[in-house]
Structure 1
Amino acid sequence: MATIEKRTTKDGKNTRWRVKWRDGGRRDGDWDGETFDYQADAKRFKALVDANGNHRPSPEQLVEHGFGHLAPAPPAAPVDDPTAMTFRQYALTWLDTLTKPSAETKRKYLERLEKHVFPTLGDVPIASITRRMMREWQTQMMVSGLSRKTIANIRGESLFPIFRAACLPGEDEEPPLRTYNPLEGLALPDGPRFERDILETPEQASILLTAAYEVDPEAADLLLTKLAGGLRWGEVAALPPEAVRKHLGTIEIRQVLRKVEGRWTVQPKPKTKNGYRQVPLHPLVMHVVNQRVEKAGKFLFWAPRGNHWRYEDFYDWRWVKIRHLAESRGLRGHMTMHGLRHSLLTLLATEGLDLPGLKGVAGHAQVSTTMDVYVHHTTAHHEPVRRIVGGFLEAGIQAGEQQRAAGVMRAAEIRGRIHRSSKETAARYADKTRPGR
C-alpha cells in the first residue's frame, strides 16, 4: 500500500506531500513515487495507486483522474511523414506557439484537452479526423454529462482554433495538415437547457444556511457572506480582515484568489476595474463578519490548515455535505456555490433595485452582463400576475359563469325532453309489435 510523507522545504516556508510505494506492493519491488503541492492531490493519487495494485497508473488513468501532466509524452511523429502527427502532438505544439493568453489560460486549455479530448482523439492523426468523428465526440461528451455550454466552450476555445491552425501552412511554409475544419458548420448536439438553480424564497435560504451551520459553522459564515454580498468565490475566499469597514457596514473588494499554474494565489486585482468596490451587508451579517475580524489572521475565512480555502477543498469537504443535507430537507435542484451570487442579484433585481446599484453590487463593467447572465426568472411574479389578470377578467369571468350555469340548465332540460321522447317512442313501438294486434 502506498504511503504519504509530509515534507517541508529547507526554508520552512512550503510544505509538499510525497506519495511512495513499492512496485507491485512487494518487499523487493522498486521504489516509485510522486510529489504534490497539496495533500488533497496526494490523497487522490495514493488512492489511484492502491486501486492499481501498487503499480503506477497508466497514462489513460492519469488523464482520466486529472493527472495528465504526469503521463509520459507520446512519441514524436516521424519527420518524413507529417500527416502521421497525432492530434495530441499537434495540440501541444499549438499551445506552445500561443503568445497572447496568460499561463493560467493555457493551463485551462490543456486541462480541458487532457480530460475531455485526448482520451478519444489524442492518438488519432489530425489529418484523419472527420466531421463524423467530431459529431460522435460531441454526443459522447453529452452522454457523459457535460452541458451544451461546456461542450461549446471546449469547441470554441480549444478545438476550433487547433483545426483552423492545421488548415494553414506551417511557420516555415510547410503544407497544411488539413484541407478543412471538421467543426465548421457542425451544430452542437441537442439536449436539455437547464436554468441555473437559485434560492428564490426565504424558506429555501433558511434550509441551506441551517444545513451549513449544522455541518460547519466556519464554512457557513463564508457562505452567508458570499450570499449576502453576491460575491465571487475568489473575492470571498481572499477577504482580509482589513477589508471590513465597520463604520460603513461594508466590505471592500481589493484582492482576489486566482488559480495560476495549478496553485491558488492571492492577487491584488479584481476581475475588472469595477471589481474594486464597497459591498453593503445587512447588520446581522455585518455582526457575524465583525466577530470574525476579532479572531482573524491573514484571511477572514480560513481552512483547517490556517490559510485561505482552496476551492476544491471547500467544495469536496464542506459544500457537497451541506448541499446533500439541504436537498434531503426539501431544497430543490442542484445548487452550486456560484448560484448563491446569482440568487442575490436576482433577488435585488426582482425587488426593484435600480440598474446602476445592481451593477455596482455585482462588480460588472456592463449592466447588460448582470441582467442577461445573472438575473433569472423566478416564481415571485406569479401572484401579482394572478391578481392583475383577475382584476382585468373578473367581470367577464362572472358573466361567463352565469351564462355557463344557464347553459347547463338548458342542456339538462333538453336532455330530459329527449329522454322522455325516446321513452314514448319506444312504448309506441312496443305496443304496435305486441302479438294479437
Structure 2
Amino acid sequence: MLRVERICCLRRQKVGARLSTIHIKGPARLSGEISIQGSKNAVLPMMAAAILHKGITVLTNVPMIQDVDCMVSILNYIGCRCNRKGSTVEIDGTEIECAQIPDHFVSQMRSSIIVLGALLGRVGEGESRYPGGCLIGARPIDIHLQVLECLGARILEEDGQITARASAGGLVGAEIRLRYPSVGATEQALLAGVLARGMTIVYGAAREPEIGQLCDCLNRMGARVRGAGTGILVIEGVEELRDSRFAVRGDRIVAGTYLSAVMAAGGKAWLKEVRPGELELPLNLMQQAGAVIRRDEVQEEIFISMNQRPGGLLLETGPYPAFPTDLQSPFMAFLAAGDGESRIREQVFEGRFATAEELKRMGGRIYTEGREAVIQGIYPLIAGRVTARDLRGGAALAVAALAAEGETVIEDCRHVERGYEDLCRDLRALGAQAYWG
C-alpha cells in the first residue's frame, strides 16, 4: 500500500464564515434579469475528482461561495495547489502529501466526505471524521462506507473517526447496489471507481443532473463512465487520467430560489445560464400555481411572469426527477404568501421543516406533523426578525420577506453564504430592496 506521510499538522488552515444578517423591505414587485451562478452541488465533487489526476484540472464558472472556499482549503491541505482567478479554479494534483481531512473542514461541510473516495483511488487510504453541515436531518453516511467496502476498502470507525484503506493492489471494481439513490454515495462510487482495477457497476444510482455533470467531467479527464441520467452507472477503471478543462453548468437550485422570489413578490424575470429541463417539475408546479413560464433550452434561459397570488399546490419531495428537497423551503415560503391551501410531504430530510417555525413568526399559517406540512396562504406576511436555520431555509426566508409588510431581518446568514454568491446582489438586480447588515 502506498503510504502518505503525515505532514498534515503543518497546514492548519481554517475557513471562517462571518456572522451576517440580511435586510429586505417588502412587499416588492420584481422585474429584471440575472445570470445564474455555477452549480454548488456539481462543482464540489468535480474539485474532489481533481485529486485523482497527477496533473492539472481546470474548472470554469465556479461559484464564489464558502463551500467552494472550504474545498479549496481541503485540497491545499492535502497537497494540491489551487489557483483561483475569478470564476476559474486551476487545481494541480501532482503531489498528494496528506490523506487526512482535518476536523475543522469536515465540521463545516458535509460533502467533504466524498474526498475519501478520491483519496482511496489515488493513494490507497484516507481519514476523516463524521461530517457536519446544515442540520436538516440525520443523513447517515453508512451507505458511503458500504460503497467503499464493496470496492475492497477496509473501514475502521472509532470515536467518530473514519479510517479507510485499500489492499496492496488498490481498489477493485465490483457490483454496487445502493439501497437508496443517494447523490453522495453515487459520487463516492464514481470517484473511487475511476482508478479501480476492472469494472464497477452501480445499481440504483442517483439520476440528478449534478451526477451527469460529474460523469461528463470525469470522462473529459479520461475516465470511462457510461449511464449518466439512468439508474445504472458503468465505470471501467483506467490507469491514469489527463489534464482537462470543464465548465460548470448553472445552479438549478439557485435558479429555483429566484423563481420562487418572483412567485412570492409578483412581477417578471429572465434567468440566464440555466437549463430549464433540469427544473421541469418545479416549473410545471409554478405554472399550476398561476405563473407564466417560457423555457428556452437552446439559449438556456427561463422567463417567469406572476401577476396574481400563488394558488395552492400538492407536492412531495424525492430523488430526481421528483421534486428536489432543496427547493421545498423556497416553495413553502411563496405558498405561505399565496391564496389557498397547500400540502407538502418531505420524503428526503426529516429536518427540512425547521424553516416553517420561522415562517410562522412572519404570520405564516403552517401546520406540520411528522413529514407533512399544511399551508394556508395569507398575504401580506408580517416583517420581523427571523433566523436562517439552514442554507435553503435562509434563502426561503428572503423569498418570504418579499411578500411581507415592512423590513425583515434574517439573522445567522452564514448558512446562506455557503451556497449563494450574493443573495442580496441578485435580488437587487430584480428590483428588490435587499442588503447585508
- Higher relative contact order by CA 8 Å / sep ≥ 6: 1 or 2? 2
Q: Same fold (TM over 0.5)?
A: no
The structure whose residues are more often helix, as a share, is 1
The structure whose residues are more often strand, as a share, is 2
- What TM-score comes out, normalization by structure 1 length? 0.23
Give the structure with higher Rg (CA).
1
- What TM-score comes out, normalization by structure 2 length? 0.23
